[in-house]
Amino acid sequence: MITNRDILTWLQALAPPELAESWDNNGLLCGRLDAPAGRVLVALDPFLPAAEEAADWGAGLLLTHHPLLFRPARAVTDETALGRTMLFLIEHGIAAVNAHTCLDYAPGGVNDVLAQSLGLSDVTGSGLWRGGRVFPQPLALFAAHVRDALGAGGLRYCDAGRPVERVAVCGGAGIDCLPELAEAGYDTFVTGDAKYNGFWDAADLGINLIDAGHFPTENPVCTMLAQSLAEAFPQLEVRLSRQHRDIIQFL
């Protein structure tokens, strides 16, 4: 019998907790460690649609990148989205396990998978970001490739006037990496959740900035998680969420 503890041990070997930021929340956040895992549903977010899908499929564990509990909860009631999700998971006997920033930093984690998804070669990295190369091309051509490769509904970008060749990536929200990337000589940066001033900062530093969104830049790691978990536990039923989608839509 494979338990939630077994899954957590495997996940912590893949993404060691000591890699996580001090403010983060990782691990088993709902459920019993020694309960049987049964089926495992993998999704980026632990929100109610994923929890309902897990219940409909008969899963005993919901494995996500983002944590179910991030900020301290003052109450768990059906009057909040968090409370409704937690109550649903508990009432249906579904555990919630996640690996957040530790999976961002981990070798083979969020940012390595993102670099691979975009076809970067000669990939290296420092901290959160990874960097590599593509064949020299105009920014508009590469931006379209990013959109299509990640299945993004759209993206935002600014052109710093340089062709794309040396590309850095950081899934989620990585705009704070800009000064380091400029010093390292990258001409293009792919990330998500960039604010208005971030585009000005990128242009001032001479870096093309592509904001492909939080969900599209991180979601590829879910496929890796599902595949790796199935390989580690061949007798376990593992499924990538079929319902979970980016909440942001584009006209």
- Look-up of token digits 């937690």: 86
Query: Given the structure tokens 């459920």, which residue do they identify?
Result: 31
Span 107-217 CATH architecture: 3-Layer(aba) Sandwich (3.40)
Q: Between 3.10.270.10, 3.40.50.300, 3.40.1390.30, 3.10.20.30, what CATH number should domain 4-100 receive? A: 3.40.1390.30
In this prediction, residues 89-111 reach a mean pLDDT of 98
Question: How much helix, strand and coil, in percent to the nearest 5, is found in the chain?
Answer: 40, 25, 35
For 128-153, how does the pLDDT look when each residue is reduced to its tens digit (9 = 90+)?
Answer: 999 999 999 999 999 999 999 999 99
Average of per-residue pLDDT values in the chain:
97
Q: Under a CB-based contact definition with an 8 Å cutoff, are residues 70 and 64 in contact?
A: no
pTM: 0.96
Does residue 185 contact residue 166 with C-beta atoms inside 8 Å?
yes
pLDDT digit string, tens, across residues 203-213: 999 999 999 99
Interval 51-67: pLDDT, tens: 999 999 999 999 999 99
Report helix, strand or coil for 201.
helix
Average pLDDT estimate for 178-202: 97
Arithmetic mean of pLDDT, 87-93: 98
- Looking at residue 237, its amino acid is E
The pLDDT value given to residue 84: 97
Q: What angle is formed at CA 50 by the lines to CA 57 and CA 10, rounded to 5 degrees?
A: 80
Tokens 């890699």 — which residue? Answer: 19
Q: How confident is the model at residue 223 (pLDDT cuts 50, 70, 90)?
A: very high
pLDDT at 242 over 90: yes
d(CA 97, CA 220) in angstroms, rounded, equals 18
**153-166 pLDDT tens trace:** 999 999 999 999 99
pLDDT of 73: 87
Q: What is the mean pLDDT of residues 72-93?
A: 95
CATH 3.40.1390.30 occupies which residues in the chain? 4-100, 107-217
Sequence-distant (6+) residues with CB within 8 A of 75 are 83
Condensed to tens digits (0 to 9), the pLDDT of residues 19-50 reads 999 999 999 999 999 999 999 999 999 999 99
What does the radius of gyration of the chain's CA atoms come to, in whole angstroms?
A: 19
Nearest by Cα to 42 from 250, 228, 247 = 228
126: pLDDT strictly greater than 90: no
CA 169 to chain centroid, in Å, comes to 12
For residue 72, pLDDT over 90 is answered with: no
Give the C-alpha separation, 146 to 24, whole Å: 28
d(CA 228, CA 103): 13
